[in-house]
Every structure is written in C-alpha cells, then in structure tokens.
Amino acid sequence: TQYVYRFGGGVSDGGSGDKTLLGGKGANLAEMASIGLPVPPGFTISTQMCTRYYEEGQSFPDSLRDEVAQGIAHIEGVTGKTFGDAADPLLVSVRSGARVSMPGMMDTVLNLGLNDQTVEGLATASGDARFAWDSYRRFIQMYSDVVLELDHGRFEEALEIAKEDNGYNLDTELTAEDWQKLVAEYKALVEELWGKPFPQDVHDQLWGAIGAVFGSWQAERAKVYRRLNNIPGDWGTAVNVQAMVFGNMGDTSATGVAFTRNPATGENAYYGEFLINAQGEDVVAGIRTPQYLTKAAREGAGAKPLSMEEAMPDAYGELAAVFDRLERHYRDMQDIEFTVQQGKLWMLQTRSGKRTAKAALKIGIDMAEEGLITREEAVARVDPAALDQLLHPTLDPDAPRDVLTKGLPASPGAASGVAVFDSETAERRSATGEPVILVRVETSPEDIHGMHAAKGILTARGGMTSHAAVVARGMGRPCVSGAGSLAIDSRARVMRVGTREIREGDTLTIDGSTGEVMAGSVPTVQPELAGDFGTLMEWADGVRRLKVRANAETPLDCRTARDFGAEGIGLCRTEHMFFEGSRITAVRQMILAEDEKGRRAALDKLLPEQRRDFIEIFEVMAGLPCTIRLLDPPLHEFLPHQEAEFAEVASAAGVGVEQLKRRAAELHEFNPMLGHRGCRLGVTYPEIYEMQARAIFEAACEVAEKSGEAPIPEVMIPLVGTRKELELMKAVVDKAAEAVFAEKGRTIEYLVGTMIELPRAALKAGEIAEVGEFFSFGTNDLTQTTLGVSRDDAARFLGVYVDKGIYARDPFVSLDVDGVGELIEIAAERGRKTRPNIKLGICGEHGGDPASIAFCEKAGLDYVSASPYRVPIARLAAAQAAL
C-alpha cells in the first residue's frame, strides 16, 4: 500500500476527490497545486496509515520510513534546500487533517528542522538573526507542548518574564539576543521537565511530530468533538508535511486567514484578517489585533492600521485573483489560509467555508444567479436544520451570556423574561405586558395557558417529545426541556442550579436552539422571512414531490403555518382544544360522568365550542385538506387535582365532591400511555366521537355556506390496532355526517382514516385499509410502541444509548429507519395493495426532521406534517430528498 502522496513543484499524487484518503487539507493542497496555485511543496501521509498505526500498537511499518524519506527528498528537490543542512536548512510544518475539519482539535508543529546548528544557518541564509532565533524558540515551545506534552504554561511564563525584565510590551520588541537567551532557557526547561535534552536530530524531530499528530486523533478532546459532531472514530487523520514559508521575515511578510465571501452575511466581498511580520498561530491566538484585508472593510470599521490591499497591493492583487480562481474551481465559498514571504504569496489551505444560515441562503442564491451553480445545487446546499436560525428571534451572538446550565434544545428560538413558577402567575404577569419565562418541573396540558402567555418555557424533566416540547414547538415558543441540574421548588417560587438561585421575578434567558439557560437578559435579533429566504423556498418548492402540511390546532397556529407555506393541516389534536378557557370543567364533567346521560350533558356544552374552533380553522385553511383527529387523551391529564377543581366540576355536574373523587380514583391508570386513550375512548363512549364529528360537519357546512369554498375534512381515528375498531368508529362518523348533511341540506366531501401508531396496525394495514381511506403515521407513538420505550421517560437513558452507538440518534427525534421505518414500509405496501390510491402521510415529530423526511420520500408517502415553525424546514428537506 502507498501511504505517502506528494504535492507541489508540478507534482500532485492526489486531488480534491481524495478526502477520505488524504483528509480535507491534504486533498485540497494537492488540488490547489495541480491547478497551478502557489503551494509550498510537501506530502501527505494517508488516513490509512493512522488506522494501521493504531492497529499495530502505535508504531509505524518499516516501509513508511522509505516513503517519508522520498517525500522529504521531493520537498528538497523543489526547494533546493536540505533537511538538517547546517548552512541553509529546509524547515517543515507537520499538521493534521481529517476528512472533515475539526477546528483546534488536533495538533500542529511549525518550524521543524531547527536545532543548535541549523538555527545559525537559517540566520545566515535569511540574513536575519532575529527571525532565526524567534523561529527556533517558537519551535521548541510548540514541540514541547504538542509532542513532548510538557506544561506549556512554564514556557509562556519564561517569555513573560523575559519581556518584563527588559521592559517590553510586545513580542516584536525582543531582539535576536533576547530570543537567543530565551532559547537557552527553553532548552533548560525541557531538560528539567522531560529529563532529556531537546532532540537535536531533525529526523527524530520529524518522527516525533508525525507520531504526535496521529496520536492526537485519540486525544480526549478530539473524541468529545467527534461525539458531538457525529464523526466516526475509525476515519483517522492524515498528516501533512510541508515546506515552511515564513510570514515573519520582516515587513514584506505576512500571514492571514480569509473567506472569499462574508461568512456571516453572505455578502460577495472578501472577508478576512492578516498580520504583518507574523506566523500563522499569531492571527488565531489573538496576541496582536489583526488588520483588515480590504480597504473598504477597514474604512467601514473606522480602523487605522492599513489593510492588506493598501499595505501590500501586489500580494493582495495576487490573492484576490486566487480567490476568484478558487471559487470558480470549487464552485463554493472558500475558507483560506495564506502566507506572504518577502512579497511572495503562498497558499496553505482551502476548504468550503462554514457560514450562518443567512449567509448560506445569500451565497447559494447569488452563485446560482452568477451562473456558478444551478438552482438545484443552491437548494441542495442549505442545511434545512439551519433555517431554524432564521425563523425565530435569536440571541445576539456578540452579547455576553451568563450560562447557568444546559437542557435539551426542545423548541428553537431565544427568549428573555422574568421567571415564574406556575401558569396562573405567567398569565397574570404577562397580561400586564411583562415578558415571562415559565419554569416547571414538567408541564401538563393544564399549563397550556401559561405556556401561551409565556415568552419561553423551561422544564427540569421531559425529553424532545415531552408535552412541553411538542406544545412549545407547535406554538413556536422557545423551550428548553429536561434541564436535569435544575432544582425547582414551585411552592417557594425558586429554582437552584449549583449555588445559584433564581427567584420569581428574576430575569432569565433561554436559548431553545442550543438548550442554554442564562441568568439575566441577552439581546436578540429579529428574523427576516422575505428576500433570500422566500427565493430559496420558491426554488425548493419547484423540485419537491412530498406535500408539506402542519400540525396545528389554533387559528393563530394555522395562520402561521400558512404563512410558512403549509399546504393543509396534517394533524389537529382536538384534545389540545379542550384545555382552552372554561372548557376544562365541562371536559372533566364528561370524563367523570357515571353514565351516558351525564356524559351527554357535558358534551352538549362542548359541541358549540368545538364547532367554533373548527369554523375558525376551516376559514384559515379554505380549500385545503384538514386532518382532524378525534379525541386522544391520556385521561389522567384531564383529571382534577386540587380541591377547588373538584368543587367546580361537582357543581357543574350537580353531583357531590366525594362521588367525583371516588370516580377519579376508579379512572386511575398505571400506564396511561397504554391505557384508556385513543379510539378506546370512542369505542367505550361513542357519544364523544359523535359530538366531535357533528361539530366538524356542522362547521364545514357553515364555512361552505358562508365562503362558497368547502374545506376538505379528513376525520382521523387515533391509536387504532384492529380493523374492527376503525369500522365501529367510521360508522359513528358517517352517521353524524349523514345527519348533519340532512339537516343542512348540503353534502361535503370528506374522508375517514386512521393513524398508524401501533405495530399491529402496521402489520394489519391491508385489512385496515379496507375501511380507512387514509393513513397517517403517528411516529411518536409508533416509536414508543415499537421500541417499547416510553416517550416521556426516554430522556433519562437515551443519551447513553446514543453515546454507545445503540441508536445513531434519539429515535424520537430522527426516525429509527431500520425498525420503525420497516413497519412504515410494510404498512404502506399492504395498505396500497388493498387501496391503491390510499393517501399516506406522517404526523409524528419526525415529520419535521430532515433525515426522517428523506426516508418518507423514499417510502413514497404523499405528505409530511410538521409543527408550523418547522414547515419551511420540511419544504427544503423534501426538496433535497427529491433531488
């Protein structure tokens, strides 16, 4: 196997297609060299060597010695210098480079090849003794840190003392003699800390550095970074050995980093910083304040030190030409490192630049309009998840933040307000115009009004599909859930994190996009939906096949969803409507009723309210399909808890409190999620579904009458497992429809279908489709029931499951394609066999997750349904899935 690949001096053994083998940096260095850009010669040791290095107990095969020797010979041939030559030494850099960039995670050594002899040669050959000794001390410092792993604080301390002793402020004030003295101190430090003298043999230095770079792949921080960014541990890193070029050879030398376009705004203008007479790490380390690249940027910022355009016009002109060349070649915005050595430009790195969502949109659209890429490519390049950044107010990235703790990023967006610990207070204080953050151990449906009133929601318990998370996303309220380190005392109206205390009325900020919880307020910036966002969405709509609907149940949510481009309602959870205002008492009366008569009395109160709800929704969604799901309550969520609530229900129902309490105790369930919910409620108490169906059809007739445009209700039965259940429930719905149509003297087109939320329903889909006219995959419950993992309790252990690679991602966030996905495919296939044009959709939280949407495209579903704020994400993800 070949492990060493050369580049520079007219040779390129690899190219940009070889990222897997050569890492991103190595592949792009070879590519730049092959298109004739000025790249210092060097070679890359492949990632395969990294794998082998670990397989063989962290040692190298003999064959690598020969290959590296040939690589060094290549650099010597191109530069005309010799490695270790006392008169005019070749110096090299040794840098890591994985397939994807892992900024700051792995190791770099510069100026390698200096020792007590070659430093003198470098001084003579360069005619600059100060430069030579400065380079040597930098090398010892870096090598000691990265390769010998000695305490770098001691080296910095020695430098600070040297500056103090001489009365200097800046490193640049040190003279050749000062640096020489410091080198002697550094060498003594190495002996003291390492027990051996600093290695003088340049080949020992090289092998030490190569081993350190491979070794850094398994460093703790690199492992953590990989875990956070889903980078497999077996990819390995490559090692790049390259001739040094020097930005610190006086005032005609410089080093810098640049983007070919602005990575924050996307503006088509070069963006970057550089430093005269400096080496790479000086720019990043922030020792000196870097200067602007362009005159316009400098003037815009009102800065004094000359820009590169002004200070080094020739090198700048060359750099600008390279920028254009790179953009045309890579057809993307590039992130670049360069060095100017005595007026000559050298390219040290290029890669596709990281950018904000806003910049991603602008750059994609601009490049398509410049003819550099196609519209499809522009659509394909924007990360749908990043759109979140654009749809919600976000924290000002430049503002300081006092982070208390971190929970799950349950619903994106940022919010600041005073902490309150119950929904009543949330409502009361927000009514006075005060922004509030509702802080709860966990939320229940009774908190809906408090959540509505709040600017943001924070809970100590609950996962990504917990009640708080689902409802908050639906409302577009920022939410951080499951912040386990919070100790909340609702009675005392206080929460504690470690030694910090937040009392009711103290200001709190949450970032639902990162999960951060902060003390005090942090300024936010508002989103912008027109312009580039609108353009890209239009392009996306042009390529997608999947329809996109919304999960929504209030007129406001429906309107938001339509504004975001929803093409109908995919899930209207009617139980959420039952918590509005005074209805809860009637709902409780209905649940606690001893018999049908008692239930009907309560239902009569609810009917007009439900009808009004549906009228409002149908009006907003005129002409579009609306899937209304009949009641699916975990009953316990509706039961009264407090004495006053029992009293209220008792008086409404005209029965005694004690009787109610007995009934409530009867209704207690050990496992409500698998209890008397979904269509089981309709099967036992058909009058409930009858009332809801009646409300739906009465509302539809009324809207058709008023507006001339009839809605298309799709009545959906939840938690069906058998054909018979659906048959019974469909009969109830059809009967109500018939009755209403007879009364109103008009008929409305409608469908009756089912959710597929149970493995049995998926397997028996062929039978169920004989009755059901559509299927909607309720993947929250289908995940829960297929995996046998409670959606409300999963957060406690699923993190460990993901860490250990049992599931690649939280299966409640991103569909378990292998397991739950197979059930969906089975159900789709069997359903279609019975009813070829059966409508298929998904309405679990996965309907807004890009990876899950890609699966839905492959499975041939007709639509996905997501919470309103995720509709644009779903539109873009659906387009990408179709490309």
Binding site for ligand PEP (CB under 6 A): 571, 573, 632, 757, 778-781, 843-844
- Minimum separation from the CB atom of position 289 to Mg ion (A): 56
Instruction: Please tell me the distance from the alpha carbon of residue 456 to that of residue 438, in angstroms, as a whole number.
Output: 6
Shorter beta-carbon distance to ligand PEP: residue 447 or 532: 447
Residue 262 has phi, psi (to 5 degrees) of -70, 115
**For Mg ion, the closer CB: 368 or 843:** 843
With 0-12 / 13-18 / 19 or more C-beta atoms within 10 angstroms meaning exposed / middle / buried, residue 600 is: middle
Kindly state the smallest distance separating residue 697's Cβ from ligand PEP, in Å.
23
Site string for Mg ion, 711-750 (x = CB under 5 A): ----------------------------------------
Pick what 178 binds: ligand PEP, Mg ion, none; C-beta below 5 to 8 Å, kind-dependent: none
Residue 134 binds to Mg ion (criterion: CB under 5 A): no
Q: Which of 74, 392, 452, 467 is catalytic?
A: 467
**Farthest CA pair distance, the chain:** 105
What does 779 bind: ligand PEP, Mg ion, none (CB cut-off 5 to 8 Å by kind)?
Answer: ligand PEP
* 846 has catalytic annotation: no
Shortest distance in whole angstroms from residue 678 CB to Mg ion: 7
673 closest CA partner among 576, 792, 810? 792
State the binding partner of 392 from Mg ion, ligand PEP, none, CB within 5 to 8 A by kind: none
CB of residue 634 to Mg ion, shortest distance in Å: 10
518: how many CB neighbours lie within 10 A of its CB? 20
Name the token pair of 160.
Answer: 């600070």
Catalytic: which of 626, 701, 843, 856? 843
Q: Which residue, 437 or 842, is less far from ligand PEP as judged by CB?
A: 842
Vertex 167 angle, CA 165 and 170, to 5°: 110
The entry of ligand PEP, Mg ion, none that residue 571 binds, CB within 5 to 8 Å by partner kind? ligand PEP
**How far is residue 522 from each of residues 393, 417, 440, 510, 517, measured CA to CA in Å?**
12, 10, 21, 9, 11
Phi, psi (degrees; rounded to nearest 5) at 30: -60, -40
Q: From residue 266, how far is each of 235, 270, 372, 378, 470 by CA, in Å?
A: 31, 10, 15, 13, 33
Residue 853 interacting entry, from Mg ion, ligand PEP, none, C-beta within 5 to 8 Å by type: none
Q: Note whether 778 binds Mg ion by CB under 5 A.
A: yes
Q: Segment near Mg ion (CB under 5 A), from 257-265, 365-373, 413-421, 757-765?
A: 757-765
Kindly tell me which of 571 and 590 has the beta carbon lying closer to ligand PEP: 571
Q: Is 532 in the site for Mg ion (CB under 5 A)?
A: no
Closest to ligand PEP by CB, 113 or 462: 462
CB of 863 to ligand PEP, least distance (A): 14
Considering the complex, what minimum distance in angstroms separates the CB of residue 464 from ligand PEP?
12
Q: Classify residue 675 by its DSSP letter.
A: S
Cβ 587 to Mg ion shortest distance, Å = 19
Residues 451 and 375: their CA atoms lie apart, in Å, by: 40
Binder to Mg ion among 781, 792, 845, 849 (CB under 5 A)? Answer: 781
Active site residue 843: yes
For residues 402 and 822, which CB has a smaller minimum distance to ligand PEP in the complex?
A: 822
Can you say whether the dihedral through the CA atoms of 649, 653, 658, 663 is positive or negative?
A: negative
> Could you give phi then psi for residue 408, rounded to 5 degrees?
-85, 140
Secondary structure element (H or E) that encloses residue 624, with its range: none
**With binding defined as CB under 5 A, does residue 575 bind Mg ion?**
no
Shortest CA distance to 136 belongs to which of 54, 202, 46? 202
589 binds, among Mg ion, ligand PEP, none (CB under 5 to 8 A by kind): none
What are the distances in angstroms from CA 735 to CA 31, 407, 741, 804? 71, 48, 10, 53
Stretch that binds Mg ion, among 126-134, 153-161, 307-315, 780-788 (CB under 5 A): 780-788
Q: Which is nearer to ligand PEP, 362 or 473 (CB)?
A: 473
Q: Distance (Å, rounded) from C-alpha 816 to C-alpha 798?
A: 13
Report d(CA 574, CA 577) in Å as an integer. 5
In the complex, which residues of this chain contact Mg ion (CB under 5 A)? 757, 778, 781
- Catalytic center residues: 467, 843
